[in-house]
Amino acid sequence: MATETISPTMRRYAAEIYRLQQDQEDVALADISEHVETSPQAVSRMVKRLKKGGYLNHELYRGVRLTPEGEKMAMPALRRHRLVENFLVKAMAYNWAEAHEYADTFELGINDVLEDRIDELTGHPTRCPHGEPIPNKNGVMPEVNDVPLIEVETGWQVRISRVRTHEYDKLMYFAELDMVPGKEFYFRGCAPFKGPLRLYMDNKDVILGHELATALWVELVEKKE
């Protein structure tokens, strides 16, 4: 059972681990260090603290994964971060490629009252600008029924659900192509051996590199062939 008193820093670590573990079974300490922008030594200390509190499991040479208590602890931080991203994009006219990085700093000065006001001003969003779900105030994460584009069979009409990258150049390129959450296109197929993907969008063919396409998660709309 978790016993450690929860601090904002602990919530931030838990939120980052939660994000990372959506794409990998165990999260390496080096990945945590990169994403929270702190030293490996500081990460190691925090991991020991979270493990002692019952918030994560840590297997040597493999990595960490949050316990159910750890995931619960992460929800308020994820909610605040994703609400702030919406505020930065909708109210302050930042582009979505900047939102994640700026939200890390902006959210540090926000209390519960301001969070509720941001939620109201942005229309009570259920997704961040990149399409990631926003937990509700009770810490419940909405269910998202989507799949990686690279796993979709040829012949599907799909709708972009999430763009799962925070890399500035990639997000700017997706924006140039208008490949944002909610956009629909027809999936023509993928060349073998991780070759480029062929899409049909806005009445024209679009070629998308395999590495870039791994960031796109989509909802299946209609099978056309």
DSSP notation for 140-185: PPPP---EEGGGPPTTEEEEEEEE----HHHHHHHHHTT--TT-EE
Number of residues assigned to the chain? 225
pLDDT of residue 70: 96
Bridge partner residues of 198 (DSSP): 189, 207
C-alpha distances in Å from residue 22, one per residue of 13, 38, 169: 15, 21, 22
Mean local confidence (pLDDT), 2-27: 87
Question: Do 58 and 46 touch, CB atoms closer than 8 A?
Answer: no
From the candidate CATH numbers 3.30.10.20, 1.10.490.10, 3.40.390.10, 2.30.30.90, the one assigned to the domain spanning 147-223: 2.30.30.90
Question: Do 11 and 74 touch, CB atoms closer than 8 A?
Answer: yes
Is 200 in a helix, a strand, or coil?
A: strand
Residue that is written with structure tokens 């700017």 in the block: 172
The tokens describing 8, both together, are 């904002």
Give dist(CA 16, CA 77) in Å, integer. Answer: 9
DSSP, residue by residue, 62-75: TEEEE-HHHHHHHH
pTM for the model stands at 0.91
1-142 maps to CATH 3.90.320.10: no
pLDDT of residue 82: 97
Is 7 in a helix, a strand, or coil?
A: coil
Tens digit of pLDDT for each residue in 102-128? Answer: 998 898 889 999 999 999 999 999 999
Q: Give domain limits for the chain.
A: 1-142, 147-223
Tens digit of pLDDT for each residue in 25-77? Answer: 899 999 999 888 889 999 999 999 999 999 999 988 889 999 999 999 999 99
